[in-house]
Structures are given as structure tokens and as C-alpha cells.
A = this chain, B = another copy of it.
Amino acid sequence: MLKSIEWTGRSLRIIDQTEIPSCLVYKDLNTIEEVFEAIQRLRVRGAPAIGIAAAYGLYLGLRTLEEENRDDFIAKARHYAEYLSQARPTAVNLGWALNRILSDLSKLNSGVRILPVEVLEIAQYLHQDDIERCNKIGEYGSELIEDGMTILTHCNTGLLATTGIGTALGIIYTARKKRKKITVLVDETRPLLQGARLTMWELHEAGIPATLITDGMAAYALQKRKVDMVIVGADRIAKNGDVANKIGTYNLAVNCRYHRVPFYVAAPLSSFDFLINSGDQIPIEERSCQEITDVLGRIAITVKGANCWNPAFDVTPANLIKGIITEGGIYRQPLLKTLNKLNKITYQN
């Protein structure tokens, strides 16, 4: 199986996702700055994957420290974690992984020389954990899929977006493994075309029938009854079930409601942010105009100096979501109530 992220023993090896589908290029990251750049430039992307990448990035920063004092070391770790978490503001997994490490670190009694190794071990644990969580999401989600279904998805939520089989796409892989015949309709996902570049590439590699459409065609596909179910990923989920995900997700959710087609979100529990009450509080990353005006940085599609608006994410209100598929099961409507239970019982870390 392809791995979006691999620890080589000395460096973090990533698939440079900006080069797909033209080339499969691996890149070894040796410093925290290189990890920051890779996350910011979307060489590694997908909420779960950037969480794990940041965890290793923190280690890469800490391993070169010569601090002799434990408190100084931890202060530096906080500083590095803060730095990494700025690479992308919307996905919560980034902050989640880093906070997890900081919290574990403060509880450890190890000497300062050992601490970097402990950080590496936590990163490796989180990495393995992400793989297993993906498998469980795949198991739960695939139960919703019936033989012969056509599933529409947006952006990329597969091998490349996580360190395992993926979230929404992981469900599709699992359903396929269970010999369910499925077809996937893939939104190209402008501006950065993660659907066309990454999801189509993954599905092609996996031999799963897939059809590419532009984002504006999804409504027509729904009208023509070509879609049985929509499944997308998530970058952050608020306490009430509002979901921030790749721009264009909300558009799909509205259209699913109008056409009475079930709209599901698949995400690990690390994507939940119980510190915020609703989607209104999720910071939405606005990226450069050039991502719209210059397709893949290579060809200009509009007049020079054109004004653009480029929100990278949008927020889908909980009421449009049929269910959220996690490694702990499927949370259904009323989301506010079922997630509240989750917050109280399961999600105490």
C-alpha cells in the first residue's frame, strides 16, 4: 500500500502531493522548517495526515536542541508546536496531535536527553493509531453502502489524506474489499483540484470505477438520480456537529438536502473540536488569489490583476448532515445530542 507519510528512521518521507498525478515523487524532510513548508504548500495535506506530519515535525525540531534544562526544553517544544500549528488554520488535527504530545510530555519524568526520543515514540504511536482509526471508519461506513451504489465524493480523503486507507475514501476501499460493486463520482474540487489530481489517481490505482465531473455538475448529477449517497471528509467538527471541510462541501450538502440524497461526513475523533460550540467559530483559511487565477500555478485563466475570493473551506451546518462516521461508530441526528454524549463519555484525552 502507498504511504503518504513514512518515518525512515532519520527523516520524514512524504509523497509530494503537488506532483501528483504527473509524477510520484517522494521527499525526505529533515527539519521542522521543511515540515512547515510541506504542510503550508500542501505537499502533505488532509486533516489526519498533517496532524501526523506535524508530530514528526515537532520531533525533527526538538532532536537538535541542546537545552540542558527540562523546563527550557518544554518551553521550546511549546514554541515549536505553536509555530507548526500556524501552517494551516482550519484543520483541528494539527493542533490536536501537537497538544497531545505536549500534554504527554509534561507528564513524563524522563531526563531532558531522553525527551526527544519520547516525542518520536508518541509520534509513531499516533501514526499507528491513525492507521487503525481509518480501518475502523472504513468498517462502520462500509455498512451503509449497498451493492450497486454510486457514491459522490469531494476533494481527497484517501491514502494521501491520512496515513491509513483514508476516511470517506477509506469507506469506499473497504466496501470494495467486501466485494460490493460501487462506482464513484468525483468532484474535481477547484481551485486546487484534489479530486481530479489525487482522488482520481487513487481510484485508478485501486481499480475502482470512477467518473470525474466539475464541481458545478454535481447538482445536475443529483437531479438526474445518478448519485445514491455523498460522503466527504472533515477538517474540523464543532460540538454541535457543524463541519468545516474543503470549499464546495456545503454546496453539495445543500443539493443533497434538496434532492433527498443522504449526505455523510467521515472523520476520526481527532477532527472534533469540543471547545467550540458551532461552525461560526471555526477559522476559515483564505488562500492566495493565484490558486484560482493560475491553474496548478501553470496557466492563467483570467485577466491580469483579477480580484478573487479564495476561502479554502466552508462550513456545513449539522442539520444538513445525515450522519458522521467515526472510528467509534456512526453519529446520527440529532447530532447535537449524540455528539454531546460522545463528548462526555468517549472523548476524554
- Interface of A toward B, CB cutoff 8 Å: 21-22, 185, 187-191, 193, 196-197, 200-201, 204, 209-221, 223, 247-248, 250-251, 254-255, 257-258, 292-293, 295-296, 298-303, 305-311, 314-315
Contact = CB atoms under 8 A, between A and B. Distances in A.
A334 B232 CA distance: 37
Given A213-B309, A219-B254, A299 B301 contact: no
A236 to B, nearest CB: 15
A21 B303 contact: yes
Contacts of A211: 307-309
Contact of A251 (B200, B255, B301, B306): B255
A155 to B, nearest CB: 10
Given A21-B303, A210-B307, A221-B309, A215 B200 contact: no
Contacts of A215: 190, 214-216, 248
Given A217-B311, A308-B212, A188 B299 contact: no
Nearest to A305: B204
A292, A296, A301, A311: residue with the most chain B Cβ atoms closer than 10 Å: A301
Nearest to A255: B254
Contacts of A218: 251
Contact of A216 (B187, B196, B293, B315): B187
A197 B302 contact: yes
A251 B305 CA distance: 28
Given A197-B302, A201-B302, 19 more contacts: A21-B300, A21-B302, A21-B303, A196-B301, A196-B306, A200-B303, A209-B307, A210-B306, A210-B307, A212-B308, A213-B292, A214-B248, A215-B216, A216-B248, A217-B247, A217-B311, A220-B251, A223-B250, A298-B299
A247 B224 CA distance: 13
Contacts of A191: 214
Contacts of A295: 295-296, 299, 301
Nearest to A199: B302
Instruction: Kindly list the 3 A-B residue pairs having the minimum CB-CB distance in the complex, ordered from nearest.
Output: A216-B248, A219-B251, A215-B216
A188 B190 contact: yes
B214 A292 contact: yes
A189 B213 CA distance: 13
